Chains A and B, each alone.
Chain A
Amino acid sequence: MIRKKGLLFLAVLTALIVLLSWFFTDSWLEKQLEDMGSSIAGARVEIDQLDFSFTGVYLKWQRLQVTDAKKPMKNLFETGPCAIDFEFWPLLSKKIVVSEFKINGFQTNTSRDTDGSLSASEKEALRENSLARKGASKIRGVAVIKFAEIGRQANTDSLLKIAGLSAPARIDSLYSRLDSLYTLWDKRSAKSNPLPTIKRIEKKIDAIDVNNLKNITKLTKALEQASAAKKSIDKLNKEIQSLKKEYQTDYRSVKADLANVDNWIKNDYNRALSLLKLPDFSAGNIGRMLLGAPLSDRFTEYLGYIRTIRKYARKYKSTAPKKEHPPRLKGQDIYFYTPNARPDFWIKKLHLSGNAADSLKLEGLITNFVSNQKLIGQATQIKLSGSKKNETSLDLEGSFNYLQDSPQEKFRFTYSGFNLNGAGTLLPGKIKSGTGNILALLKINGNHLKSRIDFNAKQLRFAQNGKNEMERLLFQSIAFAERITVRADISGTIEKPEINIHSNLDKPLTAQIKKRFGGKLENERVKINAYIEKQTAAKRKKLEEFAAKRGLKLSSVFTHYEDALRTQAKTLDTLKKKIQKKLTKQKNKLGKDAAKKIKGLF
């Protein structure tokens, strides 16, 4: 029953596997982790001297470098010696429980010895896997105008020709539509013309001479004829009323379309303004133009990370997930948890120590980073702090709470006294000197978010004088103000956040801009207005006159029909009354005569 050769083969195979894994597990795992990290970071990730022990249940490495995708000769961050201590038994249940994860020597923005960029094929693979950017929605209401382009010399005439207006074509289209509609109504109203029927009835009625109707039979017949005619008139009236009602509905829609002409012209005007970079320099708009786009980009990126974390938290929480349609032979994994079970993934404590940019010493602790918080009854907490020579301090406190049905995230970030030298990502120019403070609060409950960001900077000096007149004016205003304070309020939903930014520069800068560029901008606006007016006025006038004329014509047709029907109905009513009166008289007379004759008999 037992195959001896088979047993021998198995023994040799097992020995070979043990031997190979003894020598190659660390390098294989190192390569796997580096590839996985590179696909997430978008640039090369390198791990040095990885040491993994299944029996000792630990994973260690001496150095980890994550390249900055935008600067391949710099590391986004790197770490010194790190150690992860696993628990053994959960591994046999397909669970990873990390009792402690220590990251030492954390540093940001360090130099690299080699280029850390990925090859084209590696980047392509990364684009498909980038989870954080998937489904990210831009914050609404952020000006997309590039500040440096404001006030740029532009040839309004040539740009307007390139831009092309949509209103004239839409007016023409509406004209054709109205023409078809009115032609249709002309046909319908002609088809329903009641005048021939009225004439026929009139002819019949004229033939009835009430004075010549001497007996009851003739009178009764005449009354029946008049009643039938009245019935026909009433029916016609009903048809005309229903037709008129239909026409009025169409007429209302025509009126609404005509009212849209104003919006079409307004849209063309706004589009031309945006193409010519002629923004609205109202006080409320300056903050958005200054900081809106960079702030929106960063906020959107962070929301993307939160969405990703939520997605995975949901995946591991569900016990009866929706049926998916996986690729053939892959299937769908169903997760089964008991309230006392251990989660599939759990880092109990993650210690972080190192230096951030600007030599800021960092200390941090992340607790309960877990796949299913309900199983351990605790939320994930983040606490990070740093300081430098009592000048600069950083604090980040946050929590990811998925214990309730509605997920909640809370963050508070303060960064005070930091050096702005060389910073240039938020303001439209590289800063030469200055210090800044940031206080950011973010609270997300379910789909609703509320955030406030206060930023203030003082003694700002820019590295250059500004590329154009507009930038020079901005830098001068900031330098003159000595301190800038910006407040951003972000609210709404994760899918559609809305931003509102105000700064102390809003009013003075608006005044300066209006003073300096007001005349020029106004001239351009007038030019655009005149151009649009020239292109649309004649067409618009023609359309409005046409609509009014044809509308009036149709209304008068309906009025004429109604008048004729009303007159005829009135005539018939009079005739009926006259016949009725004579009939009653005849009946009475007949009654009296009959009484007299009966009396004569006796």
Chain B
Amino acid sequence: MFFIKFAAKLFKILRSGESPNKIAAGFSLGMILGLTPLLTVHNFILILLLIILNINLASALFAFAIFSGVAYLLDPLFHSLGYFLLTGIPALHGIWTFLYGFPVVALSAYNNTVVAGGLAISILLLIPVFPAMKYFVLYYRSHIDPALQKFKIVQLVKGSKFYTAYEKIKGLGA
């Protein structure tokens, strides 16, 4: 049931009338929230942005759920990368030391290996993820969705529980 609801949520986001930019922005911010430990200063700022700015919240929550799981699996990688960034690059040592003594920034837990590693990966992923998500939404709406509707399998699915749930959610979203 969980997977059906989850898939229904994904379809709902993709088929909603929301602009691809807003969906992609929400997805990207949700990814950062998911990939780094939640209780940090940068995530607090991201949550504020999600509340204040007109960004798609559903895609942010969807990305947060997916990438939290990914972060759990990749934790040793984040720890190693964070450790390397914080201790293995002498050129960065001056910046880290400056930030450590800088009010408020010191509270951001940037000196934690998992936060540093997760944030570095998130920022790197942000560059391809935002345009890729935007392109995917457009492509889905113009190509995949109309094609899907023509498939016989979809006709069969329409009579199943899955489709009922989907319709239900779609109806709620309207």
Contact = CB atoms under 8 A, between A and B. Distances in A.
B106 to A, nearest CB: 4
Nearest to B37: A329
Interface stretch (B49-57, B130-138, B143-151, B163-171): B49-57
B101 A341 contact: yes
Contact of B103 (A89, A331, A333): A89
B75 to A, nearest CB: 4
Contact of A335 (B54, B111, B114): B111
A7 B48 CA distance: 9
Nearest to B117: A331
Given A94-B106, A331-B113, A7 B97 contact: no
Given A92-B104, A329-B71, A2 B53 contact: yes
The prevalent SS among residues of B at the interface is: helix
Contact of A2 (B52, B78, B87, B102): B52
A94 B48 CA distance: 22
A329 B114 CA distance: 7
A10 interface: yes
A153 interface: no
A334 B52 contact: no
Interface stretch (A172-180, A320-328, A387-395): A320-328
Contacts of A336: 93, 96-97, 99-100, 111
A22 to B, nearest CB: 21
A246 B80 CA distance: 54
A9 B47 CA distance: 12
A3 B115 contact: no
A321 B86 CA distance: 11
Interface string A559-590: 00000000000000000000000000000000
Contact of B111 (A92, A329, A334): A334
Nearest to B82: A331
B54 A330 contact: no
Contacts of B114: 326, 329-332
Contacts of B113: 326, 331-334
B155 interface: no
For chain B, give the interface size range. 20 to 34
Contacts of B117: 331
Nearest to A93: B106
A337 interface: yes
B154 interface: no
A333 B86 CA distance: 10
Contacts of B75: 328-329
A335 B100 contact: yes
Contact of B51 (A9, A93, A94, A320): A9
B87 A334 contact: yes
A341 B94 CA distance: 13
Given A329-B71, A331-B37, A3 B100 contact: no
B79 interface: yes
B83 interface: yes
A208 to B, nearest CB: 83
A1 interface: yes
A336 B93 CA distance: 8
B104 A3 contact: no
Contacts of A328: 72, 75
B115 A331 contact: yes
Contacts of A326: 79, 113-114
Nearest to B79: A331
B16 interface: no
A336 B103 CA distance: 14
Nearest to B74: A328
Contacts of A95: 106
A7 B52 contact: yes
B70 interface: no
Contacts of B107: 92-94
A1 B49 CA distance: 11
A332 B97 contact: no
A328 B78 CA distance: 10
A337 B52 contact: no
Nearest to A6: B51
B83 A1 contact: no
Contact of A332 (B48, B53, B83, B106): B83
B97 A337 contact: yes
A92 B102 CA distance: 8
Given A329-B37, A331-B113, A336-B97, A3 B106 contact: no
A404 interface: no
A114 interface: no
A323 B96 contact: no
A1 B53 contact: yes
Given A3-B52, A3-B53, A92-B106, A332 B101 contact: no
A338 interface: yes
B102 A6 contact: no
Contacts of B54: 1-3
Interface in A324-368: 326, 328-338, 341-342
Contacts of A92: 103-104, 106-107
A333 B99 CA distance: 14
Contacts of A341: 97, 100-101
Nearest to B75: A328
A320 B113 CA distance: 12
A545 B103 CA distance: 85
A540 B109 CA distance: 71
Contacts of A93: 100-104, 106-107
Specify which of A6, A92, A321, A337 lies most central, judged by the most chain B CB atoms within 10 Å of its CB: A6
Contact of B87 (A1, A320, A338): A320
Nearest to B51: A6
B101 A338 contact: yes
A10 B53 contact: no
Nearest to A340: B101
Nearest to A5: B51
B122 to A, nearest CB: 14
Interface string A490-512: 00000000000000000000000
**Which 8 A/B pairs are nearest by Cβ-Cβ distance?**
A331-B114, A92-B103, A336-B100, A6-B51, A331-B112, A336-B97, A93-B106, A94-B106
22 contacts: A1-B53, A7-B52, A10-B48, A89-B103, A92-B103, A93-B100, A93-B106, A93-B107, A320-B87, A321-B87, A326-B114, A329-B37, A331-B78, A331-B115, A333-B112, A333-B113, A335-B111, A336-B93, A336-B111, A338-B101, A341-B97, A341-B100
Interface of A: 1-3, 6-7, 9-10, 89, 92-95, 320-321, 323, 326, 328-338, 341-342
Interface of B: 37, 48, 51-54, 71-72, 75, 78-80, 82-83, 86-87, 93, 96-97, 99-104, 106-107, 109, 111-115, 117
Given A92-B107, A330-B114, 5 more contacts: A10-B52, A323-B80, A331-B115, A336-B111, A338-B101
